[in-house]
């Protein structure tokens, strides 16, 4: 493998991002416009994310199900805002057969569908159309469902993981007997996302509602988790929508309450997607390559035996294999989602140790073990942390103690990555007290906390003039009366603006 | 819940199958033609299947990846047999936008794709088009990939789980440097499927090649696992294809071998789908409802506390909760794929015990614990096996011993279900020595082993005249020279015929 250089972040952040994805084997563009191939190293991260999220969903009472990929066109007619929000960018199936004519494959004009089908951009409509048959009485509620699926939105400008025509996600859809219960669910799920972002991804987030201008089409309101990338741009990382009775009314989903009256059901939906992988990369990685927090790492430990002679190599490989097995045999624990540690022994003696170390760094493996003849003579090894340079190395670690030390190190890396990302995020939150100050600060990146009058017009004007949007109205913002930086009208607290992905 | 009666198998097997799916809440037809909704109880079985299969794939060196949902039409042009086999039944995307005109949503005629996209019926073409960029040298091989995905085939007559327009599956795709290695992989994966079918699903299968007439379009040959349902019809449960160099040639995938020469890569593909859930139902279930083997059961144990007074109910519920927790806290073991036991405590005191027992039987939960005041007075409970009647009950089981006894019982149920299904399958394998005898025996259902001359014409004629097809040429068939029952031409052994789903 030729060691192509990764563009440095300071030189070109966008190119650095693509270089990481390319060199770490995470994904690539396919020959299908806007659709990506998620390569094994990228998909392995998604699998870890899925496992952790799925457990969090199940622990909060949700079950998985699967609904059709296709949505009849008329379903979009039923919920106006949805049609507005999604109809402009969707894949439309119009025929159900190809035919061969003079050696050319072509669409069979006789196999035209009576009604066109849309490849789901999101599944509220098909699911609420189904709920109609599932919900009769308050005893049938709540319905707490989740679906792992692919969805398609015909994006014009795409970027790997962050914005692609097809992507993978989970979409939760719940139905409730009362508004309060649905609102509690909306809040609970954004809190699940916050926990996942912070405790698994080690990615700090702001949590709170979106403004009207940024909410989901069809929602009464949208809660979100909002992260900050290293280049100072924000990333919407997950959303949880309170849908009110909009979909129940559109699809006529009523239930008999405990007083015998018919009522429309209350709805939520919430989702995160493979976009999180983009967020993960841009939160932690550096100019040497990918950095993955241990709880989501597809490979936890790479052991690199070193030797010049065949005998040295045999002996260090054997010791490496024994250590690997000891690590795999450790009791399963909740920190690692009850999965065994994944350990690789690197037998690539064709390359120099420095090259091999760099390859594991590039791939983001949290802990590297170096094991040469001199180490082995002392029954010891060297532990190296991906998130630190030489100062993070532990020399002369006895092999018998290595498994426990490695587990401790993995846990330290997890919390250290979070602390580092949080410190960066916190020092990237600025305040602006005038529109001029805002315009200057927004150029420097990060979140800019400013007063806003709560109207859509002002929000739109700010976006037009500065390319910044309201990312989040944080739950934990300080209550502080003020005046909108643009109109001077009264405001009850600052909101978080940023330029975003 | 009204206790609608399940149609008995003897009365109407097809209706019995649909009744089970309906009453156990496994799936239903959607309003999208041919597409099903997989309901939570059905999806939970699929999740257990996925987890076990995924582990088997990874233990044999495979990694997961994800390729686009859409396939450009011209890709079908490149592999002739594929186009023949799949072009007749596919969903074609022709437009990428809807528009609103006078309040009606319609396809925007200006948003027509330059080249139509096909919703994948299977992914060989898009994957081999991608492999072209991944494979340069023999050092890049083998590539051992798997994908969990949805696929679409425009089936005209559909049946829940067994044949639907959209279904979920996994598709393995591998590339190798030598024919031998690819053939070994093909064989290894059908063996993985046999293990899964027999050891997890408790469903015995015949294993061997398909005839030419039944193989996958594009394959050199197809290996399969073939099961027998209770009504005597066969079910193709999994296939593993040796694809030769067909796809490498179609997509120009060559590599430099260790002698510096360019060669085409060798391919396999293999898959199982949500169809397995249909097979699971029709292998084990009975007129009382679903039966799920413990290794795939979404719920392992239902504990039914019983009591007339509030005090009795409180006490038996408390004891039930303690037992449930003890079961959940048991050490994770490989038999259960390292998942904790899933236990439900049934607090539905509105219904009589008999009704509650029947509900858990209907849902297929392997072990039911009954816990009434008299049992509790003795610190004991009753264990009931879903796969047996009263003779399977264990009375007066001390509560302290119950967890261990339940684990033992779950393992016994697993092996007992397999033994029962195998005994049924074995006594449903018949021999026919003349075409007349064959025609009679095929009416009775089961596999009929008969001599065949190996030609496509004879196979087609038999199918036309008897609706039976060659299901499998079992690896373990007895070598036995004979004469084709139809043409009298020589045959080197019997093949397995059946009418199939």
**DSSP conformation letters of A245-306:** THHHHHTT-EEE-TTS-EEEPEEEEEEEETHHHHHHHHHH-BTTB----GGG-S--EEEEE-
* pTM of the full structure: 0.97
Do residue B269 and residue B158 come from a single domain? yes
Chain A residues close to B32, C-beta within 8 Å: 68, 70-72, 117, 126
Q: Does A51 touch chain B (CB under 8 A)?
A: no
Residues B132, B252 contacting (CB under 8 angstroms): yes
CA–CA dist B321, A199 (Å, integer): 30
Q: Does A63 touch chain B (CB under 8 A)?
A: yes
Do residue B180 and residue B127 come from a single domain? yes
Is A65 a residue whose pLDDT tops 50?
A: yes
Q: What is the least distance, in Å, from the CA of B146 to any CA of chain A? A: 9
A375: Cβ contacts below 8 Å, ≥ 6 apart = A381, A382, A396
Q: What is the least distance, in Å, from the CA of B64 to any CA of chain A? A: 6
* CATH code, domain carrying A459: 3.30.110.30
CA–CA dist B279, B205 (Å, integer): 11
Do residue A336 and residue A304 come from a single domain? yes
Residues B67, B126 contacting (CB under 8 angstroms): yes
User: Which residues are paired to A288 by β-bridges?
Assistant: none
Residue of A nearest to B69 (CA): A166
In a domain, B1, yes or no: no
In a domain, A109, yes or no: no
- pLDDT (average), residues A112-133: 96
Q: What is the least distance, in Å, from the CA of A340 to any CA of chain B? A: 10
Q: Does A66 touch chain B (CB under 8 A)?
A: yes
Do residue A191 and residue A304 come from a single domain? no
Q: Does A81 touch chain B (CB under 8 A)?
A: no
Chain B residues close to A88, C-beta within 8 Å: 97-98
- pLDDT (average), residues A175-188: 98
Say which residue the tokens 């190599």 belong to: A313
* CATH code, domain carrying B396: 3.40.50.800
Q: How many domains does chain B have?
A: 3
* CATH code, domain carrying A248: 3.30.930.10
Domain assignment of residue A458, given as a range = 429-498
Is A165 a residue whose pLDDT tops 90?
A: yes
CA–CA dist B240, A56 (Å, integer): 36
Q: For residue B3, what pLDDT is reported? A: 57
A5: Cβ contacts below 8 Å, ≥ 6 apart = none
Print burial letters for B142-175: b (CB count within 10 Å at least 16), e (below 16): bbbbbbbbbbbbbbeebbbbbbbbbbbbbbbbbb
Least confident stretch, A80-94, A108-122, A157-171, B34-48: A80-94
Q: Which of B379, B412, B445 is the last residue of a domain?
A: B412
Interface mutation target, options B22, B32, B99, chain A, most CBs of A under 10 Å? B32
In a domain, B420, yes or no: no
Average pLDDT, chain A: 96
In a domain, A245, yes or no: yes
pLDDT band, residue A76 (cuts 50/70/90): confident
In a domain, B390, yes or no: yes
Is A62 a residue whose pLDDT tops 90?
A: yes
For the stretch A360-399, pLDDT in tens is 999 999 999 999 999 999 999 999 999 998 999 999 999 9
Do residue B166 and residue B69 come from a single domain? yes
CA–CA dist B469, B333 (Å, integer): 41
Q: Which stretches of B153-230 are DSSP H helices?
A: 179-195
Alpha carbon B357 to its chain's center: 28
Alpha carbon B375 to its chain's center: 40
A145–B40 CB contact, under 8 Å: yes
Do residue A410 and residue A441 come from a single domain? no
B307: Cβ contacts below 8 Å, ≥ 6 apart = B313, B314, B315, B316, B317, B349, B372, B373
Q: For residue B1, what pLDDT is reported? A: 44
Least confident stretch, A66-80, A300-314, B163-177, B444-458: A66-80
Interface mutation target, options B2, B25, B31, chain A, most CBs of A under 10 Å? B31
Do residue A262 and residue A342 come from a single domain? no
* Structure-model confidence comparison of residues A292 and B4, the more confident one: A292
Q: For residue A87, what pLDDT is reported? A: 66
Least confident stretch, A1-5, A465-469, B175-179: A1-5
Do residue A65 and residue A202 come from a single domain? yes
For A100, the closest of B83, B154, B166 (CB atoms) is B83
A83–B105 CB contact, under 8 Å: yes
Residues 431-490 of A with CB under 8 A from B: none
Is A194 a residue whose pLDDT tops 80?
A: yes
Is A91 a residue whose pLDDT tops 60?
A: yes
Residues 159-188 of A with CB under 8 A from B: 166, 168
Is A293 a residue whose pLDDT tops 60?
A: yes
Q: What is the least distance, in Å, from the CA of B412 to any CA of chain A? A: 26
User: Which residues are paired to A304 by β-bridges?
Assistant: A370
The whole-number mean pLDDT for each consecutive block of 10 residues of chain B, a chain of 501 residues, reads 79 98 97 96 98 97 98 87 75 94 89 96 96 97 98 93 97 98 98 98 98 92 98 98 96 96 98 98 98 98 98 98 98 92 97 96 98 97 96 96 98 98 98 97 98 96 98 94 96 95 95
Is A1 a residue whose pLDDT tops 70?
A: no
């Amino acid at each position: 493998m030729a060691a192509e250089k990764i563009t440095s972040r300071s030189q070109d952040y966008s190119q650095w991002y693509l270089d990481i994805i390319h060199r770490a084997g995470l994904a690539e563009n396919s020959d299908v416009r806007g659709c990506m191939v998620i390569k094994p190293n990228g998909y392995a991260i998604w699998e870890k994310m899925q496992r952790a999220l799925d457990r969090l969903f199940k622990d909060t009472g949700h079950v998985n199900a699967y609904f059709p990929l296709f949505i009849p066109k008329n379903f979009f007619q039923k919920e106006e805002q949805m049609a507005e929000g999604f109809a402009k960018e969707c894949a439309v199936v119009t025929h159900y057969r190809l035919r061969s004519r003079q050696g050319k494959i072509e669409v069979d004009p006789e196999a035209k569908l009576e009604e066109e089908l849309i490849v789901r951009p999101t599944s509220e409509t098909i699911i609420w159309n189904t709920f109609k048959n599932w919900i009769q009485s308050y005893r049938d509620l709540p319905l707490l469902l989740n679906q792992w699926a692919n969805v398609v939105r015909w994006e014009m400008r795409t970027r790997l993981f962050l914005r692609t025509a097809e992507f993978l996600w989970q979409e939760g859809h719940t139905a409730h007997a009362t508004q309060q219960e649905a609102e509690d669910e909306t809040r609970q799920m954004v809190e699940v996302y916050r926990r996942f972002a912070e405790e698994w991804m080690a990615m700090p987030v702001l949590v709170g509602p979106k403004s009207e201008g940024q909410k989901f089409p069809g929602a009464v309101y949208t809660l979100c988790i909002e992260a900050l990338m290293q280049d100072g741009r924000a990333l919407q990382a997950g959303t949880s929508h309170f849908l009110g009775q909009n979909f129940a009314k559109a699809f006529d989903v009523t239930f008999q309450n405990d007083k015998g009256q018919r009522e429309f059901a209350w709805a939520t939906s919430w989702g995160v997607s493979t976009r999180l992988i983009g967020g993960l990369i841009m939160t932690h990685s550096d100019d040497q390559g990918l950095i993955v927090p241990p709880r989501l790492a597809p490979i936890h430990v790479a052991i690199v035996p070193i030797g010049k002679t065949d005998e040295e190599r045999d002996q260090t490989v054997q010791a490496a294999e024994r250590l690997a097995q000891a690590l795999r045999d450790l009791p399963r624990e909740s920190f690692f989602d009850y999965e065994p540690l994944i350990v690789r022994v690197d037998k690539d003696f064709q390359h120099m140790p420095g090259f091999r170390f760099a390859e594991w760094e590039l791939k983001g493996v949290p802990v590297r073990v170096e094991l040469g003849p001199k180490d082995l003579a002392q029954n010891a090894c060297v532990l190296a942390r991906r998130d630190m340079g030489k100062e993070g190395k532990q020399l002369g670690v006895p092999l018998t103690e290595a498994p426990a030390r490695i587990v401790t190190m993995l846990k330290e890396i997890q919390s250290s990555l979070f602390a580092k990302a949080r410190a960066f995020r916190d020092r990237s939150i600025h305040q602006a007290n005038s529109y001029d100050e805002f315009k200057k600060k927004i150029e420097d990146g990060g979140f800019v906390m400013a007063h806003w009058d709560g109207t859509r017009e002002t929000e739109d004007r700010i976006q037009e003039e500065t390319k910044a949007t309201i990312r989040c109205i944080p739950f934990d913002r300080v209550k502080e009366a003020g005046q909108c930086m643009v109109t001077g009208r009264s405001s009850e607290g600052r909101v978080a603006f940023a330029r975003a992905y």
